[in-house]
Structures are given as C-alpha cells and as structure tokens.
C-alpha cells in the first residue's frame, strides 16, 4: 500500500522501525514538503520513470487483463503477457490478448499498460486515462534538496541496465551541479535530451509535483 501522511509513516516507524520512506508519485511538491516537516523518518521521492495515476499498490487494471497483481508479480505488464504484432493498420501491442494501442510507422510507443493505452470513448479515439510521458524532477532538484528530501528514486523495474546507467549518470551530474550552486542551477540541454530519449513518448513532466490543487 501507499503511505502519504506523517501519521501513516509514524505507524510504520513505530511498528516496523523503518528508517526511510519512499513517497508515492501522487503527491504535490507542497504535500511532500508537509510530510518532510512532520516526520523524523528520511524521505525519498521518485525522480524519473513511469507515472502512475492510481493510488500505488491498489490498481486492478493489470490484474483484470493478466490475472496477476503488480504487488505479487512485480510488474504492471508481465513480459509473458505482452505481444507486439505488425498489421496493415500499424504496430499493435496486446496485453494478454487485450489490444492496448496501435502505432503508426515512426510513432513513439508507450509502456504497454492499460492505463496508457488508446481506446475509443464516446466515438473518439484517445488516451482515456493517461497519455504516455515520464516523470522527471530535473527542473526542481534544488527545491527537493531545500525541503529536506534525502534521496531520489529512479524506476528500474523492467528496465535495461543501459537505461538505468544513462538515467543515473545524468541525475548524478545534475545533483552535483545543484549542490555546488543551487541558486544558479539550470538543467543542461544535453541532460534533458538524454532523459527524453528514454522517456515514454519522448516527453517528460513533473506530474503531480506541480499540481496546484491538494
């Protein structure tokens, strides 16, 4: 499950002696700040990778399609359930025989999960739940450091060693630059380009971190 409040974190600290908590990707920056200010447990936040619009750990879309829960099998789209097929209409991706999307030649493909698939709703074809894009905190590293976030997390599950190496290398350089001079910190264009190469849809966003409503 997800812990999104100081009270929930205190429960795990008192009963399981946790030393650090990884906050889910559904919190805004001000909500992250509020958690940090009201707990003595170290806080880690997601820095780069897929976004999840669900309450993390409580999504049943993959279970519905594959019969396997992300909590038990460790993946939203088990590799054995994913199938790509070239058709006259484009490249199709299926999750356990459920058609998720169809891509035109040269079109960037997203992660093969139902929540980021294109479906026809009320006669219109589009992303019914969420468009493919990746979370990237490159723009706000000094802010995360300033509010007391102790570590950042790169999503590595179902990713290649090359993906993890490339992302961590960029973020290491960015963190060092933010540490050296937070007031003058600006993400380098080559950092952004390198991360966009491995981003879903070749685009990035701050996701819920820049959300105004709480």
- With respect to residue 56, please indicate whether it lies within any of the assigned structural domains: no
Query: Is 170 found in the same domain as 140?
Result: yes
User: What phi, psi does 23 have (nearest 5°)?
Assistant: -75, 145
- With respect to residue 189, please indicate whether it lies within any of the assigned structural domains: yes
Q: What's the number of domains the chain is made of?
A: 2
Query: Is 180 found in the same domain as 85?
Result: no
Q: Share the mean pLDDT of the chain.
A: 90
Quote the tokens at residue 31: 């909500």
What pLDDT is recorded for position 214? 55
- With respect to residue 1, please indicate whether it lies within any of the assigned structural domains: no
Helix, coil or strand: residue 195: helix
- With respect to residue 25, please indicate whether it lies within any of the assigned structural domains: yes
Query: Is 185 found in the same domain as 83?
Result: no
Query: Is 199 found in the same domain as 150?
Result: yes
Query: Is 199 found in the same domain as 139?
Result: yes
What pLDDT is recorded for position 55? 66
- With respect to residue 47, please indicate whether it lies within any of the assigned structural domains: yes
For 121-138, write each residue's pLDDT tens digit.
Answer: 999 999 988 888 899 999
Q: What is the mean pLDDT of residues 133-162?
A: 92
Query: Is 109 found in the same domain as 169?
Result: no
For 98-123, write each residue's pLDDT tens digit.
Answer: 999 999 998 888 888 888 899 999 99
For 6-30, write each residue's pLDDT tens digit.
Answer: 999 999 999 999 999 999 888 999 9
Q: Which residues contact 73 (CB under 8 A, 6 or more apart)?
A: none
Half-sphere exposure (CA, 13 Å, Cβ side) for 151? 12
pLDDT(213) > 70: no
Whole-angstrom CA distances from 176 to 52, 93, 172 are 28, 39, 6
For 28-81, write each residue's pLDDT tens digit.
Answer: 999 999 999 999 999 999 999 888 777 666 778 888 888 888 777 777 888 899
Query: Is 39 found in the same domain as 16?
Result: yes
Containing structural domain, residue 93: 61-127
């Amino acid at each position: 499950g997800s812990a999104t409040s100081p009270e929930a974190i205190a429960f795990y600290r008192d009963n399981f002696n946790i030393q650090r908590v990884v906050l889910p990707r559904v919190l805004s920056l001000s909500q992250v700040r509020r958690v940090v200010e009201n707990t003595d447990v170290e806080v880690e936040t997601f820095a780069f990778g897929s976004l999840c619009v669900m309450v993390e750990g409580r999504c049943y879309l993959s279970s519905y399609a594959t019969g396997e829960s992300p909590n038990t099998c460790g993946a939203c789209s088990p590799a054995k359930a994913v199938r790509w097929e070239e058709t006259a209409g484009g490249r199709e991706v299926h999750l356990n025989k459920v058609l998720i999307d169809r891509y035109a030649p040269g079109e960037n493909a997203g992660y093969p999960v139902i929540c980021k698939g294109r479906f026809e709703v009320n006669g219109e074809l589009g992303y019914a739940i969420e468009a493919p894009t990746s979370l990237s905190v490159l723009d706000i590293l000094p802010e995360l450091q300033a509010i007391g976030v102790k570590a950042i997390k790169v999503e590595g599950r179902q990713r290649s060693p090359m993906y993890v190496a490339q992302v961590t290398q960029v973020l290491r350089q960015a963190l060092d630059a933010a540490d050296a001079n937070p007031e003058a910190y600006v993400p380098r264009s080559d950092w952004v380009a390198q991360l966009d190469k491995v981003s879903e849809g070749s685009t990035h966003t701050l996701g819920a971190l820049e959300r105004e409503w709480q």
